[in-house]
Structure 1
Amino acid sequence: MRSLGGFATMTASAASSQFGAAVGAHAFATIGPAGVVAVRQLVAAAVLLPMARPNLRSFTWAQWWPTIALGLVFATMNLSLYTAVDRIGLGLAVTLEVLGPLAVALGGSRTRRDALFVLIAAVGVYVLVLPGPSSDYVGIGAGLLAAACWAAYILLNSLVGARLPGLQAPAAATAMSATLYVPVAVLLVLHGKLTGMSIVYAIGAGLFCSVVPYAVDVIALRKVPARLFGLAMSVHPVLAALAGLILLGERLDVHHWAGILLVVTANALAVTCSKWPGSPTVQREM
């Protein structure tokens, strides 16, 4: 029952993330993906910094460099994901992004079983995008870049988790990422775009994509195994597709749903059969 409750809680967290992404997408026309990311990162930093209170002056270089790398990953991951959402839709973008955790779960494996998972995922991606002259390769590339960033995020979090206590590294990295987007926010303010519903949607993305999932996961993930966390993460593409349908009017074709199902299946099998690096508490997109 405890594991079932933890899984349900993390599924609710995933639903919050995808709902927030759909809410943020409503601001793309006014402030663009970069504007939404800027506000989202500022909101996340405003929550994490007072909570973690990282002692930056005491950081050594061995602690600083992975924290800096993590901040760059945050900045790139969110922008690439939202660019993909803007171009190819929420469901497809998140499905491609989930390939990152899948790659980490299967990294270094040489077994036939894991090779089968890779094949299932590859077929799923092909069915999902059906490459052709009309394909949005920029959007697909942005989704794959987000996947690479999520993989790097997991590995870096495993590293900083061993070198810094608590949430000091994620908080410092989030603040760095937010700082990189301050010029974007300033330009939007100067042009009078960061007002009205655009700022409401962007703040909503920050709350539902970062603050709410973090508050939920920090409790639930301490009580469940990493593999159960990975299994819960596998529902993100399905929830993203549903959020896109309900909130954005994104209707997917049969081949899209088939591709999502194949990628979700591959990821669910991989994370339940493979060993994840690090603690489950850090396998979270900020």
Structure 2
Amino acid sequence: MAAAPDDAAAARAEHPYDRRAAGTALALGASASGQTGAAVGAMAFADLGVPGVVAVRQVVAALAVNAVVRWSPRSLDRRTWALVGTLAAVMGLMNLTIYLAVDRIGLGLAVTIEFLGPLAVAVGTSRRLLDVLAAVAAAVGVLMLVAPGPSSDVAGILLALAAAATWATYILLSRALGARLPGLQGAAAAATVLAAAWALPVLVVVLLAHPPWQALVLAAVCGVMSSALPYPADMAALRRLPASTYSTLLSVNPVWAFLAGVVLLGERVSAHEVVGGALVVLANVVVTALPGRRSGAGLAGSPPLGPSASPSDGDDDGGARA
């Protein structure tokens, strides 16, 4: 999405140091808001179920995106609609699997494993030996995180890995759709399709079950904190920072997730999880921050309408979240 003229002009008029400082604060704030929102949503799992929370969040996310991005259904041809539909299906699966994983293995562990998705895309588009070593370090970190054994929640780990795979697929599909539609029109279209075809029917079922109003409020707050607030913050950050810097800052997502899990959900973090999570974060930083990386191989923050999005190849203003 192209920046609004006034906003873009204001960003360019800022002093370079102030612009970078503001962009950094916006990116970190968006990341923290997204993970805090996910923790708030997890509080409603018992009353709404995971699909119910995801549905409420998806509707809020679609409203947020469509409030900012203008697109016309009539402007899409059949091939573009096919890509939009596929992206919507991937986003729905991505949202569902990550929240199911959070319900089973906790927010911090689930988000850290999920981050392997964009890491795999970045490493796969790079030819540096250092990136391969970073991927190995991330794999070791995940092994330390999950501590395989008889008591491991294998289903939860597999769900988090499925979320990682769908996040990687989402990035690739977003790039393909971005080549056909300008800015974030493709993300807005996919979010709208997903909200109409998947989230709204689930919402009807949830409402018919008469859940406590507090649970609906928690799910709505999840949508606001994980989508409506981070979305414009991400856009503003990307107008002030290179895509590589933005992606590197969002490598802190697992850290925010662990903190939100501990503070809001009462999750316990063991020493091996701290070390494993640190290795994954370090691998993300190495891949995104060090010089020599090919343009466009950056990681995503949260995918739009999902748990934060990837800057497009060579586009410093192409991120999104929902």
- TM-score, structure 1 length as denominator? 0.95
1:204, CA displacement in angstroms? 0.5
Q: Equivalents in 1 of 2:83, 2:288: separation in Å?
A: 25
**Could you give the per-residue CA deviations for residues 224-276 of structure 1, whole angstroms, max 9, x where no partner exists?**
11111111110000010001111111111000111100000001101124332
SS in 1 for 2:269: coil
Q: Equivalents in 2 of 1:6, 1:110: separation in Å?
A: 29
Match of 1:39 among 49, 56, 69: 56
SS in 2 for 1:131: coil
Counterparts of 1:207-286 in structure 2, within 5 Å, are 207-273=224-290, 274-275=293-294, 276-277=296-297, 278=313, 279-286=315-322
Does the aligned pair in 2 maintain the 1:45–1:174 contact within 8 Å? yes
- TM-score, structure 2 length as denominator? 0.85
Counterpart for residue 201 of structure 2: 183
**Could you give the per-residue CA deviations for residues 84-125 of structure 1, whole angstroms, max 9, x where no partner exists?**
111000100110111111111101444321221111011000
Quick check: which one's helix share is greater? 1
Does the aligned pair in 2 maintain the 1:158–1:282 contact within 8 Å? no
RMSD (CA atoms): 1.5
SS in 2 for 1:250: coil
Counterpart for residue 123 of structure 1: 140
Q: Equivalents in 2 of 1:4, 1:122: separation in Å?
A: 32
Counterpart for residue 149 of structure 1: 166
Counterparts of 1:89-100 in structure 2, within 5 Å, are 89-100=106-117
Q: Equivalents in 2 of 1:82, 1:218: separation in Å?
A: 25
Q: Identity, % of aligned pairs?
A: 47
Counterpart for residue 201 of structure 1: 218
Match of 1:27 among 44, 48, 53: 44
1:177, CA displacement in angstroms? 1.4
Q: Equivalents in 1 of 2:108, 2:165: separation in Å?
A: 18
1:283, CA displacement in angstroms? 3.9
**Could you give the per-residue CA deviations for residues 123-153 of structure 1, whole angstroms, max 9, x where no partner exists?**
0000000111111111111111111121122
Q: Which runs of 5+ in 2 are unaligned?
A: 1-16, 298-312
1:170, CA displacement in angstroms? 0.9
- State the AA in 2 paired with 1:264: V
Q: Equivalents in 2 of 1:283, 1:93: separation in Å?
A: 22
SS in 1 for 2:229: helix
Counterpart for residue 139 of structure 1: 156
Which deviates more from structure 2 when the two are superposed, residues 152-161 or residues 273-282? 273-282
Q: Equivalents in 2 of 1:230, 1:237: separation in Å?
A: 13
Does the aligned pair in 1 maintain the 2:85–2:190 contact within 8 Å? yes
Size of the aligned set, in residue pairs, is: 285
Q: Equivalents in 2 of 1:73, 1:213: separation in Å?
A: 21
SS in 1 for 2:179: helix
Q: Equivalents in 1 of 2:199, 2:98: separation in Å?
A: 15
SS in 1 for 2:28: helix
Q: Equivalents in 1 of 2:248, 2:229: separation in Å?
A: 20
SS in 2 for 1:235: helix
Q: Equivalents in 2 of 1:181, 1:99: separation in Å?
A: 26
Does the aligned pair in 2 maintain the 1:221–1:281 contact within 8 Å? yes
Q: Equivalents in 1 of 2:67, 2:37: separation in Å?
A: 22
Q: Which runs of 5+ in 1 are unaligned?
A: none
Change (3 A) 1:284 1:178: same
Counterpart for residue 10 of structure 2: none
Q: Equivalents in 2 of 1:29, 1:281: separation in Å?
A: 38
Counterpart for residue 27 of structure 2: 10
Does the aligned pair in 1 maintain the 2:138–2:283 contact within 8 Å? yes
Q: Equivalents in 2 of 1:6, 1:51: separation in Å?
A: 19
Does the aligned pair in 1 maintain the 2:64–2:227 contact within 8 Å? no
Counterpart for residue 11 of structure 2: none
Which deviates more from structure 2 when the two are superposed, residues 83-92 or residues 40-49? 40-49
Q: Equivalents in 1 of 2:117, 2:316: separation in Å?
A: 15
Change (3 A) 1:264 1:172: same
Q: Equivalents in 2 of 1:155, 1:175: separation in Å?
A: 19
Flag as ranges the 4+ runs of structure 1 deviating above 3 A.
108-111, 280-285
1:280, CA displacement in angstroms? 4.4
Are positions 1:86 and 2:118 aligned together? no
Change (3 A) 1:221 1:108: closer
